[in-house]
Structure 1
Amino acid sequence: MLRGVKKKQAILRVIESNPGTGFVDIHKLTGFGHGVVSHHLSVLEKEGSIRINREKRNIWVFQSSLDPNNDRIIIALRKETCKNILAFLLDVHSANFVQIHNTIKKSPGTTSVTLKKLVELDVIKIIHGFPKKYTLKDEIKTRKLFDALIVSYTDELKDRFADTFSYL
């Protein structure tokens, strides 16, 4: 029983220090088996200690004390292309497609799909005109989350790989 409590606490510490972390990251950072992680996530969710955001084949785990309205920004910040776009928009406040594309150095298709997804997630908005520009929906909230979120090197490598095949 005591070992179970220690494992649950270890998993909770990983989640607290890595908001929006995924199942695989928890498994790698704790060294616990898949079944152990799955069991304790289920228990923590039932207790109300964590909140799991499930979409398609992905899960993101958050402390239940965090504002769920920030989930979409945190999830976006865990993906390299999204993070680069948001960082650029934090610096310049608004930019057109060409400026964003040239700054993040991704293909036009990747840039376009990522911008579209960030608009759908209501993280950025379009300023209509010629050319149309993109700006952050809530710059203050995005800056606070950007500054607070620390993504480990392992997460960055995994997210770069995942970013190649999935755009949120």
Structure 2
Amino acid sequence: MEPDDFLRDEYARLILKSTTTYKPVSEIHKETGIPLGTIYRRLELLKDAGLLQVAGYIENGVKVKTYHNKPRRYHVSNPRISRILEIIQKNPAISYRDIQKISGYPFGTLSNSLSNLEKDSKITVKRFTRRTHYFPSHIPSAEYPVLINLRKETAKKIIIFLAENKKGTYADFRKCTNRAPSTISITLTKLIEEKIIKRISDFTPYFILEEPQFVQNILAKISPSNTDKMKDRFADTFSYF
């Protein structure tokens, strides 16, 4: 069900009306008269759709879940929340700063919205010392390192070069990236550490992708976006299908 579908579903409407304050299933059943099995099914759907908040308390050593109708400003049916989710879905591994640039939403509003999307498991957040990356919840975590590096200009050019040419030397990367030797060396080291590429010892050492088909599959889902002209050279935008 889409969020708007719940507004046309009688059981869902009754449950949302009943949960203006936190309530356990027993109270929702008493107020609405809806069969317990139906309540449990609708609660899961409403929770997955981001329309309910879930809490709980301990009673006689047993944990009791309670449900609350989330304020509409945090619903995925809210155009603002929907827009942020759409940006992340099209740009996996996008940073907070880049979401703000694309959306134009104030930092406070954006932070609250992202926090609620994370709580609702609509997105996954990977936090690092200098940058935080946001992913749609359906993307496998195994793809994260490649997607994150595809948002870094030098790493992206090296990965794409290897995907197109199967192998590349240090000199090849100097030409395709037009970056300083120190930048290329640091990037290669990080890509090796993250097991995206590996170094092959030879008369002239060269590099190849650790899992060429895996990277090719990710690249096949990506196409350049013409809608975002960011000046930040580390924030190449792409759309993920």
- Superposition TM-score, scaled by structure 2 size: 0.62
Q: Distance in 1 between matches of 2:231 and 2:110?
A: 22
Q: Which residue of 2 aligns with 1:26?
A: 99
Q: Distance in 1 between matches of 2:224 and 2:74?
A: 27
1:104 aligned to 2:177? yes
> What is the RMSD of the two structures over their aligned residues, measured on CA atoms?
2.0
Code of the aligned partner of 1:40: S
Q: Distance in 2 between matches of 1:57 and 1:110?
A: 17
1:47-96 CA deviation, whole Å, 9 max, x = no partner? Answer: 11110011112000001110011000001001111111111111211122
1:75 aligned to 2:148? yes
Which one of 134, 141, 144 corresponds to residue 207 of structure 2?
134
Q: Which residue of 1 aligns with 2:198?
A: 125
Q: Which residue of 1 aligns with 2:231?
A: 157
Q: Which residue of 1 aligns with 2:81?
A: 8
Task: Pick closer, same or farther for the CA change 1:31–1:109 going to 2, 3 Å.
Answer: same
Q: Distance in 1 between matches of 2:235 and 2:139?
A: 25
Contact 2:98 2:235 in 1 (8 A): no
Question: Structure 2: any 5+ residue segments left out of the alignment?
Answer: 1-70, 237-241
Code of the aligned partner of 1:101: R
User: Please, which moves more after superposition, 63-72 or 93-102?
Assistant: 93-102
Give the 3-state SS of the residue equivalent to 2:192 in structure 1: helix
Code of the aligned partner of 1:82: A
Code of the aligned partner of 1:58: R
Q: Which residue of 1 aligns with 2:127?
A: 54
| More helix, by proportion | 1
Rg larger for: 2
Task: Pick closer, same or farther for the CA change 1:151–1:39 going to 2, 3 Å.
Answer: farther
CA displacement at 1:4 relative to structure 2: 3.9
- Percent of pairs identical after alignment? 31
Task: Pick closer, same or farther for the CA change 1:65–1:81 going to 2, 3 Å.
Answer: same
Q: Which residue of 1 aligns with 2:157?
A: 84
1:35 aligned to 2:118? no
CA displacement at 1:129 relative to structure 2: 2.2
Contact 1:90 1:143 in 2 (8 A): yes
1:17-66 CA deviation, whole Å, 9 max, x = no partner? Answer: 11111111211222211111111111111111110011112000001110
Give the 3-state SS of the residue equivalent to 2:124 in structure 1: strand
Question: Structure 1: any 5+ residue segments left out of the alignment?
Answer: 164-168
Give the 3-state SS of the residue equivalent to 1:61 in structure 2: strand
1:64 aligned to 2:137? yes
Code of the aligned partner of 1:131: T
Code of the aligned partner of 1:157: K
Relative contact order: is structure 1 or structure 2 higher (C-alpha 8 Å, sep ≥ 6)?
1
1:102-153 CA deviation, whole Å, 9 max, x = no partner? Answer: 2322111111111111111111011122222100111112122223234546
Q: Distance in 2 between matches of 1:25 and 1:74?
A: 15
- Superposition TM-score, scaled by structure 1 size: 0.87
Give the 3-state SS of the residue equivalent to 1:135 in structure 2: strand
Give the number of equivalent residue pairs: 162
